[in-house]
Amino acid sequence: MTDAKTRIDEIVKSNDVVLYMKGTKQMPQCGFSQRVAGVLNYMGVDYADVNVLSDEEIRQGIKDYSEWPTIPQLYVKGEFVGGCDIITEMTLSGELDQLFDQNGVSYNKDAAEKIREANG
């Protein structure tokens, strides 16, 4: 498990934004991963995607790493942010924008606003 933890730690710390998900950002393999990847893609966020379905060690390892039982999992600047429900709430409340602003992560502010308008 140490190997998986080391690999996860390296990925999380070497990328500003990382999404551990089922599938890839181009082809999510579950609805929850699709929702979070869709938000990030629509907002134009540059992020690393890690497909947990292609590596069982990482699939279990990420749950242990974050002490969070579900996937997807979003990390910003090395910090665990949350899963699908949390990211959805943060997107709709504007908290995700604030988090990106505070951490110097570029995104399309107009796209973020359109998400809120469409769901408001």
Q: Sheet of 17-21: strands edge to edge?
A: 48-51, 17-21, 73-76, 79-82
The answer on whether 84 is annotated among ligand-binding residues is: no
Strands 48-51 and 17-21: parallel
SS3 label, residue 119: helix
List of residues 6+ apart from 1 with CB closer than 8 A: 57, 60, 61, 64
Query: What's the burial of 111, exposed, middle or buried (CB within 10 Å: 0-12/13-18/19+)?
Result: middle
Residues making up the binding site: 30
Residues making up the binding site for [2Fe-2S] cluster: 30
